[in-house]
């Protein structure tokens, strides 16, 4: 399936056309100030191409979780100001994303002009993909561009409803880059190593089930380790685990074995007697009663880094330990550093894993940092994302 890209849309000509752009401008705001403008910056290339081609850009995004009604703390207004600076062109703002005010603001757009609509999620119709709300959005435009990969796994009005109502549509440059890089994990050069960590088996069960039989090696870290260890009957002390997921963990183990794949668990751990940041910790191969494992140990980190060096393709999601606390960050850091040194094609997804890589300042040595979170995980499983399917081929 070839998703139509911006080139194909621009070839058809967009001068004077109203182009609805669904971007991801969901930036962290504190007291109306933008704390990190990475997502705004990332949206600029697609917007610049449309502006340069003379399109009338009708830009829309969600921000936060305002639950279907106006919330001044989730207004996109500060984003319009920042975007204008980054684009070097005025960005008009409309304090509703549908209705007469929006229609009027769109009608006042010059060729090459940009209008940012207020937060889509101030209307409950957005996440419900309500047909009337989708109609109201679609009335504002002639063509559709989706550059928000992170919401492409959700069938919302702005990701699916509007796309279905506008005959000319395309994926923006950010969306295309995500699809291209994550496709490598679907059709990897072998061997493929999948490193999965993070909090819970339940969050990652679908991806575990999909990738355990497909990856030559699946290496587990993070708190989900202890559900797998409990399933094997190994001692886990007081480490966090999910008793109701033990059967799922066993099923993943069996699927891996049946496909002749390897499923690796940590062979040593950093353990502590409590979660206090200053509680004494030590490295152990077995977790004693009353102790909590909070990071993979140095031997495990070495094993996983060796695997990354032997692999041709690596996908990593989820930290190896409670990396927010410095004492338990070494495992995650070592694995990140090992990936940066590997000759394999390396792709990292997940909010917390990306935070760890950015902390280390090694993002430029990873082939692709996926901004997608849930969308990346669904895509690498082989699922069709509704927001991508809606763009057609």
**Which residues are annotated as catalytic?**
39, 200, 351, 374
| Size of the residue set binding ligand ADP (CB under 6 A) | 18
**Strands ordered across the beta sheet of 18-22:** 91-94, 114-117, 56-60, 18-22, 143-146, 168-171
Q: According to the binding rule CB under 6 A, does residue 150 interact with ligand ADP?
A: no
Closest CA to 123 of 83, 158, 166: 158
**Which residue has tokens 């927001």?**
387
Q: How far is the CB of 125 from ligand ADP (least distance, A)?
A: 29
Pairing between strand 18-22 and 56-60? Answer: parallel
Name which of ligand ADP, Mg ion, none residue 240 binds, using a CB cut-off of 5 to 8 Å depending on partner kind: ligand ADP
Closest CA to 63 of 77, 49, 74, 78: 74
Q: How far is the CB of 277 from ligand ADP (least distance, A)?
A: 12
* Span interacting with ligand ADP, options 17-25, 47-55, 136-144, 349-357, rule CB under 6 A: 349-357
Q: How far is the CB of 352 from Mg ion (least distance, A)?
A: 4
Q: According to the binding rule CB under 6 A, does residue 230 interact with ligand ADP?
A: no
Q: How many CA atoms lie within 13 A of 301 on its CB side?
A: 21
Name which of Mg ion, ligand ADP, none residue 146 binds, using a CB cut-off of 5 to 8 Å depending on partner kind: none
Name which of ligand ADP, Mg ion, none residue 324 binds, using a CB cut-off of 5 to 8 Å depending on partner kind: ligand ADP
CA pair distance 350, 283, nearest whole angstrom? 27
Q: According to the binding rule CB under 6 A, does residue 353 interact with ligand ADP?
A: yes
DSSP E strands, the chain: 18-22, 29-30, 33-34, 56-60, 91-94, 114-117, 143-146, 168-171, 192-196, 217-220, 262-264, 269-272, 281-284, 292-296, 313-317, 345-349, 368-370
Q: How far is the CB of 198 from Mg ion (least distance, A)?
A: 6
Alpha-carbon torsion 228, 257, 377, 332, what sign? positive
| Residue 119 or 376 with smaller CB distance to ligand ADP | 376
Q: According to the binding rule CB under 6 A, does residue 330 interact with ligand ADP?
A: no
Name which of Mg ion, ligand ADP, none residue 160 binds, using a CB cut-off of 5 to 8 Å depending on partner kind: none
| Residue 115 or 287 with smaller CB distance to ligand ADP | 287
- Give residues 78-117 in contact with ligand ADP (rule: CB under 6 A): none
DSSP 72: G
Q: In this structure, what is the dihedral angle of CA atoms 323, 326, 328, 330, given to the nearest 10 degrees?
A: 90
Choosing from 22, 240, 261, 333, the residue that interacts with ligand ADP (CB under 6 A) is: 240
DSSP 5: B
Q: According to the binding rule CB under 6 A, does residue 321 interact with ligand ADP?
A: yes
| Residue 188 or 198 with smaller CB distance to Mg ion | 198
* Span interacting with ligand ADP, options 104-112, 243-251, 299-307, 311-319, rule CB under 6 A: 311-319
Q: According to the binding rule CB under 6 A, does residue 294 interact with ligand ADP?
A: yes
Query: Could you give the string, one character per residue 164-203, with x where binding to ligand ADP holds by CB under 6 A and - elsewhere?
Result: ----------------------------------xx---x
CA pair distance 117, 90, nearest whole angstrom? 14
Sequence-distant (≥ 6) Cβ neighbours of residue 98 within 8 angstroms:
123, 133, 136, 137, 140
| Residue 93 or 241 with smaller CB distance to ligand ADP | 241
Choosing from 129, 158, 313, 317, the residue that interacts with ligand ADP (CB under 6 A) is: 317
Q: According to the binding rule CB under 6 A, does residue 350 interact with ligand ADP?
A: yes
CA pair distance 103, 273, nearest whole angstrom? 61
Q: How far is the CB of 178 from Mg ion (least distance, A)?
A: 18
Residue whose beta carbon is closest to Mg ion: 352
The residues binding Mg ion (CB under 5 A) are: 351-352
Name which of Mg ion, ligand ADP, none residue 322 binds, using a CB cut-off of 5 to 8 Å depending on partner kind: ligand ADP
Q: How far is the CB of 327 from Mg ion (least distance, A)?
A: 20
CA pair distance 359, 315, nearest whole angstrom? 19
CA pair distance 4, 184, nearest whole angstrom? 19
Sequence-distant (≥ 6) Cβ neighbours of residue 317 within 8 angstroms:
195, 196, 197, 198, 204, 207, 348, 349, 350, 353, 376, 377
Six token digits for residue 386: 């509704």
**Applying CB under 6 A, which residues contact ligand ADP?**
198-199, 203, 222-223, 240, 293-294, 317-319, 321-322, 324, 350-353
């Amino acid at each position: 399936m070839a998703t139509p890209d911006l080139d194909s849309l621009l070839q058809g000509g967009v001068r004077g056309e109203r182009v609805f752009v669904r971007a991801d401008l969901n930036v962290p705001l504190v007291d109306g100030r933008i704390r990190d403008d990475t997502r705004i910056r990332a949206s600029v290339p697609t917007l610049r191409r449309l502006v340069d081609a003379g399109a009338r850009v009708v830009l829309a995004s969600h921000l936060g979780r305002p639950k279907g009604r106006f919330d001044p703390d989730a207004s996109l207004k500060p984003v319009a100001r920042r975007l204008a600076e980054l684009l070097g062109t005025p960005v008009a703002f409309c304090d509703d994303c549908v209705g007469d005010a929006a229609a009027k603001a769109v009608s006042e757009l010059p060729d090459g002009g940009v209008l940012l609509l207020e937060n889509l999620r101030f209307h409950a119709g957005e996440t419900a993909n309500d047909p009337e709300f989708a109609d109201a959005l679609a009335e504002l435009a002639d063509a559709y561009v989706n550059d928000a990969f992170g919401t492409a796994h959700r069938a919302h009005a702005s990701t699916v409803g509007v796309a279905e109502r506008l005959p000319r549509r395309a994926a923006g440059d950010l969306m295309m880059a995500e699809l291209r890089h994550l496709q490598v994990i679907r059709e990897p050069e072998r061997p493929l190593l999948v490193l999965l960590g993070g909090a819970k088996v339940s969050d990652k069960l679908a991806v575990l089930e999909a990738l355990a039989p497909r990856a030559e090696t699946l290496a587990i870290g993070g708190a989900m380790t202890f559900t797998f260890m409990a399933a094997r009957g190994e001692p886990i002390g007081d480490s966090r685990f999910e008793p109701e997921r033990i059967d799922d963990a066993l099923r993943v183990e069996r699927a891996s074995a049946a496909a002749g794949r390897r499923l690796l668990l940590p062979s040593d751990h950093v353990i502590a007697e409590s979660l206090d940041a200053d509680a004494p910790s030590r490295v152990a191969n077995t977790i004693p009663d009353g102790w909590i494992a909070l990071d993979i140990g140095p031997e495990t980190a070495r094993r996983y880094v060796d695997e990354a060096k032997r692999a041709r393709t690596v996908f990593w999601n989820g930290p190896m330990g409670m990396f927010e606390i410095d004492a338990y960050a070494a495992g995650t850091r070592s694995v990140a550093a090992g990936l940066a040194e590997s000759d394999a094609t390396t792709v990292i997804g997940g909010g917390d894993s990306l935070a760890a890589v950015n902390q280390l300042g090694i993002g430029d040595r990873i082939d692709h940092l996926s901004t997608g979170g849930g969308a990346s995980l669904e895509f690498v499983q082989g699922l069709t994302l509704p927001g991508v399917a809606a763009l057609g081929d």
